[in-house]
Amino acid sequence: MRYPYTRLETQPAPSDHVVTACVDPELGREGFSYTLASGAEGTVRGEQVLDYSKDPRYLRDVLPHPHELTLAAQQRLRNIASSPRQVIHAR
């Protein structure tokens, strides 16, 4: 999977390129750390790469299911409104 440099917390420049990148044991081996030529360091978690890549298994587990969203919306409407007029006003 790819992950663009523009999304890195410490972004490399043409004169400050990535010199090392390795799996990070401090992240439970679920991400990697990198070092730039200037000595600056950064990390990327696996979830960031999966999210950027729109991995369907990751998104399925992270995003709420449509039924859960419907139930949450219905509960919020019950909490803020007691009449259709109040629902329209709240929108």
**pLDDT, tens digit, for every residue of 31-63?**
999 999 999 999 999 889 888 888 888 777 776
The CA distance from 15 to 40, in Å, is: 13
Q: Kindly report the three-state secondary structure assignment for every residue of 2-67.
A: CCCHHHCCCCCECCECEEEEEECHHHCCCEEEEEECCCCEEEEEHHHHHHHHCCHHHHHHHCCCHH
pLDDT for the residue numbered 35: 94
The pLDDT confidence band at residue 82, using thresholds 50, 70 and 90, is low
Q: How far apart are CA 22 and CA 15, in angstroms?
A: 21
pLDDT more than 70, % of the chain: 89
